[in-house]
Amino acid sequence: MLHTFVAYVEDRPGVLTRVASLFRRLNINIISLTVGRSERAGQSRMTMVAEASAEAGNRIRASLYKLENVIEVDDIGLLPSVTRELALIKVAVAPSERSYIFQLAETFRARIVDLAHESLMIEITGVESKIEGLIQMLSEDEGRILEICRSGKMTMRRGHHTSRVLKAMEVGETEPDALQLENLEEGAAVEPE
For residues 6 and 54, state if they share a domain.
yes
CATH of the domain at 40: 3.30.70.260
For residues 180 and 137, state if they share a domain.
no
Residue 17 per-residue DSSP state: H
Nearest to 5 by CA among 17, 14, 13, 28: 28
Question: What does the pLDDT read at residue 83?
Answer: 87
Cβ neighbours of residue 63 closer than 8 Å, sequence gap 6 or more: 22, 26
For residues 61 and 23, state if they share a domain.
yes
Parent domain of 14: 2-79
For residue 184, give Cα distances in angstroms to 15, 58, 72, 166, 170.
32, 27, 20, 9, 15
CA distance 4 to 7: 10
Question: What does the pLDDT read at residue 162?
Answer: 55
155 lies in some domain: no
Question: What does the pLDDT read at residue 170?
Answer: 60
Question: What does the pLDDT read at residue 58?
Answer: 87
Question: What does the pLDDT read at residue 96?
Answer: 87
Q: Write out the chain's pLDDT in tens, 193 residues.
A: 889 999 999 999 999 999 999 999 999 999 999 999 988 889 999 999 999 888 888 889 889 989 989 999 988 877 888 889 999 999 999 888 899 999 999 999 999 999 998 999 999 999 999 999 999 999 988 878 999 999 888 888 887 655 555 565 565 434 444 444 444 444 444 444 3
Question: What does the pLDDT read at residue 180?
Answer: 44
Nearest to 50 by CA among 40, 64, 37: 64
For residues 75 and 99, state if they share a domain.
no
191 lies in some domain: no
Question: Total domain count for the chain?
Answer: 3
